[in-house]
Structure 1
């Protein structure tokens, strides 16, 4: 699956008044009506256990210049948000400068082998111009538009 290019996002939530988050590359749009997305989280993920309790999450779609954030939130640690600009949006932690933002309510957890697929109904969304951060063959990159071919 390393040869499949995927978007890079940080899933966030609050617990006991503190923000929590983790990097995911298994994220996809699921439905337009109602608007839904899915993310896959490792069964041993601390964030997954928080989502099972809180049933709400933010999805921060990272921009091409945010590789350091992806690495930071992919690691283990008590306070991944230390020194990271963020704000509360729709009651969830939102990282500043992201190209896309979704606030979601968990609708279902589905078995996915060593992961659980978290389905979420989108309750708020916004985006800004900017190239997305992608992950391909264990490296970060971005999308490039192909030149138009002449007929």
Structure 2
């Protein structure tokens, strides 16, 4: 086997393994002057509670990353279970992603209507990682709504349902 064949096989196996990981779906947003911009991601997480921080991975060649670098502020909109159409709209290329999307601005970032939750962040650090850049952000504002999140697993959208015999995190039986 050649080095390229080994790398291709590793990449194929890695994609298959990652398809087995259930991820929340979010739209990361920022402002390019007076124009909102955003993209769908599944690579984000809460990083710290004290102080509140998150991390999100953006493609190094994305328009959004260059906007976030200039604006130094970004939002993460955690989509609700019924918003797979929003996820698909923001996953495509182009400047018309916000067309037909109801949104407002809060703390300097676009917030999409009916999301499960959102955070607005100030960029604290940018760290290259492979073909992405990890953006660390300090949380400056938060909003949450009582709706189940949109998730992505096995290359399909879904949502989280509580296990019938389960307990909430931090509780013991």
Q: How would you bin the TM-score normalised by the shorter chain?
A: over 0.9
The residue number in structure 2 matching 1:100 is 117
Match of 1:22 among 32, 39, 44: 39
Q: Structure 2: how far apart are the matches of 1:47 and 1:62? A: 18
Q: Structure 2: how far apart are the matches of 1:130 and 1:73? A: 20
- Alignment coverage as a number of residue pairs: 150
The residue number in structure 1 matching 2:141 is 124
The residue number in structure 2 matching 1:3 is 20
2:79 equivalent to 1:74: no
1:19-77 Cα shifts (integer Å, max 9, x gaps) = 00000000100000110000001111110011111110011000000000000000001
Q: Structure 1: how far apart are the matches of 2:86 and 2:28? A: 12
The residue number in structure 2 matching 1:146 is 163
The residue number in structure 2 matching 1:44 is 61
Give runs of ≥4 in structure 1 deviating > 4 Å.
none
Segments of structure 1 that go 5 or more residues without pairing to the other structure are none
Q: Structure 1: how far apart are the matches of 2:131 and 2:109? A: 27
2:79 equivalent to 1:65: no
Q: Structure 2: how far apart are the matches of 1:123 and 1:23? A: 21
Q: Structure 1: how far apart are the matches of 2:140 and 2:165? A: 36
- The structure that is helix-richer by fraction is 2
The residue number in structure 1 matching 2:102 is 85
The residue number in structure 1 matching 2:170 is none
Q: What TM-score results when the alignment is normalised by the length of structure 2?
A: 0.84
